[in-house]
Chain A
Amino acid sequence: MKLPSIAFLHLLMFIISAKSFSQSGLPVLPIKNISGNSVPFSSAIDTNAVTVISFWSTWCVPCINELDALQESIDEGKMKSFKLIAISTDEARTIQKVMPMVKSRGWTFDIYLDESNEIKRAFNATNIPFVIVIRKGKIVYQKTGFTPGDEDVLIGKVNQVNVSNNP
């Protein structure tokens, strides 16, 4: 009874929950910018444009691949009218590597630090990389993991949201 029940009900929950990812009400918490200055989380979001949030870590290879790919898309002008912020979930073991890595890779988007993972928990991001697209304070898209080509799917989503945002 145990195994079929677990499998069936997990699958059922997966199908139903997969239909809904719209989430309103962003966390009211402070977050640190790359220098360690504490700022309100709401100030990191652009309320007039689509904001893409990427949760990443210096030790997470798919996360770095994703941010490299997004930087390349920005350089090539594929993503328009949006703000990208990357929230580092590095804790004490690796947080000191964030700034040297960001500078050396030439990433031009805003970096924030979530050393205690408070923001990550507030968004219920279980695993990284985890991407969220926010429009007018509401989450309109979420994605876990990264495989090559995901960046094009994300670009398409952002551009689609932008079109619906500016009819």
Chain B
Amino acid sequence: MIKRSLFIYLLLPLGVSAQIDLGKYGSISGSFESNNQLYVKDAVTNAVFPQDRIGSNNYLKADYRFQKISMGIQYEAYLPSLQGYPFVLNDAKLVQKYLSYQDTKFGLTVGNFYEQFGSGLVFRSWENRQLGINNAMEGINLRISPTNNLDLKFVYGKQRKNFDKSDGTLRAVDANYQIIKSAEINSEKSLSAGVSFVSRYQQYTGPDPNFKPTVNAFSSRVNYSDNNSTFSAEYVIKSKDEHLANQQNTNTGKALLINYGYSKNNAGFNLNLRRLENMDFRTDRSADQSQLLINYIPALTKQQGYYLSNIYVYNAQTLGEIGGQADLYYNLPKNTKLGGRYGMSIALNYSRYHALQITSQTPTSFESKFFGAGKQLYYNDINLSIKKKHSAKFTSSYLLQHIYYNKSVVESGNYENIKSTIVVVDILYKYFAKKAIRTELQHLFTKQDKGNWMGILMEWSYAPHFSVFASDMYNYGDAGKQVHYYNAGGSYTTGPHKLLLSYGRQRAGLVCVGGVCRLLPAATGLNFSLTSNF
């Protein structure tokens, strides 16, 4: 079965890539992504050696577009899936298909689709292959703009669950009214208000006659923007929704999100405040981890790109948290004493999250002060990034970060709270027009958990095709086991196609996106990936 499916899936892109431009009959486009790993035994990292030493996740998406009509498919092959992904992903199937008509005032999609209301706090269907999340809807998606200022969206269907569908059904509607909308396309003045209603039904067959199988959520929002400032606020309320992932909590779900931004000349400021209470919302009461999420609740902290900054990452606590983050951006102008010939960019970020201030509690519910912060600190992060281009050839970047990480809350369990300081120096030397060497030196200081880490990365690139790298993360502070997580590899890129080959060790840890985390297991082996767009 798998071999036959593999054959079909591999032939499909060959066929469509040959007839991409159909002239007046439309066009075919698509993408292909393949991530593969050949696992090797490694006693040092305690990596669990899989039954099959090959893991292979593959995704083919193809779309046909003719004027306002489009149709497409997504074919996925897990032969079998990479470690850390759901073990049921062990097959190759055509999992998504759609037919769509889109105009500026009207859009209708039947089949699989992704949609989002507002910021996603009440509803978002999305895909993240790195996390193994794909909660695409299967059903009907209707978009109508009856006037220039009013946009309506309707959604009806079930969510995707691996190769299957959710047990529960989702019905949702969203209305957005543009109160101020300038005729200028790139005008920076805008005021809009929106409301959303999301309803989930899942049949209940238990003994409780008062149990409500339908959960309703209502959201209202406002967005304002002018030449220098932005403001947005969204409030969501969700009816009683006991389920596995929220530990059968019966509290009414509530979420408040406020954003404010101001920018002028070379400076920018941004502030986000958020309070969450019992906001885990799914299409199935028995779903947990990253399965069947209806809404999108990301951690509002700064997303860093360096290895050691991603060891202690926060995950939003949907059962209850209050906090926020602030960002300050400043660019020292070019041709000034400090800015030099090319200027210098500075970014300061601060985020802090607490438990709610609980006033009374039962095993399945709690009372709390709406604007009160509990004593328990979940996460605190202050970080400063500086980037300076010294000359046409030489650019340096720096990161200084201090984190407080409540590991017991974020990762569940009983751990010591962690305080860590991270320092990164990143130097780019572009010694010819297309040739460059980049070096990262990183250090993480902590007295808790596994102690200190140091990291180094060397990368050589020859634009636009070649890049090779070697890196090591050395956990020398771990008294029990001092492990080198080394990696080396290279990539070849031509246009929208990229091949990557590497060999090394992968650290066990959390990968978090959108309030959802997946524990990535330790692994050692050869990695091969291909991404292609046609």
Contacts and interface: CB of A to CB of B under 8 A. Distances in A.
A33 B230 contact: no
A121 B13 CA distance: 17
Given A20-B20, A144-B497, A100 B263 contact: yes
A147 B130 CA distance: 22
13 contacts: A6-B56, A16-B14, A17-B532, A20-B17, A20-B20, A92-B119, A101-B329, A104-B329, A106-B343, A126-B531, A144-B495, A149-B436, A149-B461
B298 interface: yes
Nearest to B268: A100
B43 interface: no
B270 A97 contact: yes
Given A5-B6, A25-B65, A99-B261, A145 B498 contact: yes
A163 interface: no
A14 B66 contact: no
Interface in A1-47: 2-3, 5-7, 9-10, 12-14, 16-25, 27-30, 33-40, 43-44
B305 A91 contact: no
Interface in A89-122: 91-97, 99-106, 110, 115-118, 121-122
A142 interface: yes
Interface in B45-85: 54, 56, 61, 63, 65-68, 70, 79
B411 interface: no
Given A115-B116, A121-B114, A152-B434, A96 B305 contact: no
B428 to A, nearest CB: 6
Contact of B270 (A14, A59, A100, A115): A100
Interface of A, secondary structure class, is mixed
Contacts of B362: none
A147 B534 contact: no
B331 A105 contact: yes
B330 A104 contact: yes
Contacts, number: 263
B26 interface: yes
B264 A143 contact: no
Contacts of B532: 13-14, 17-18
Interface residues of B, number: 113
What are the 8 tightest A-B residue pairs by CB atom distance, in nearest-first order?
Answer: A100-B268, A149-B463, A149-B434, A103-B263, A93-B298, A104-B329, A147-B461, A124-B31
A27 B27 CA distance: 11
Contact of B120 (A7, A59, A92): A92
Interface of B: 6, 10, 13-14, 17-18, 20-21, 23, 26-27, 29-34, 36, 38, 54, 56, 61, 63, 65-68, 70, 79, 102-104, 107, 114-116, 119-121, 124, 126, 151, 178, 181-182, 185-190, 192, 223, 225-226, 228, 230, 232, 259, 261-270, 272, 296, 298-300, 302-305, 327, 329-331, 342-343, 345, 428, 430, 432-436, 438, 461-464, 467, 491, 493-499, 514, 528, 530-534
Contacts of B493: 143-145
A9 B266 CA distance: 51
Interface residues of A, number: 77
Interface of A: 2-3, 5-7, 9-10, 12-14, 16-25, 27-30, 33-40, 43-44, 59-61, 72, 91-97, 99-106, 110, 115-118, 121-127, 130, 141-145, 147-150, 152-153
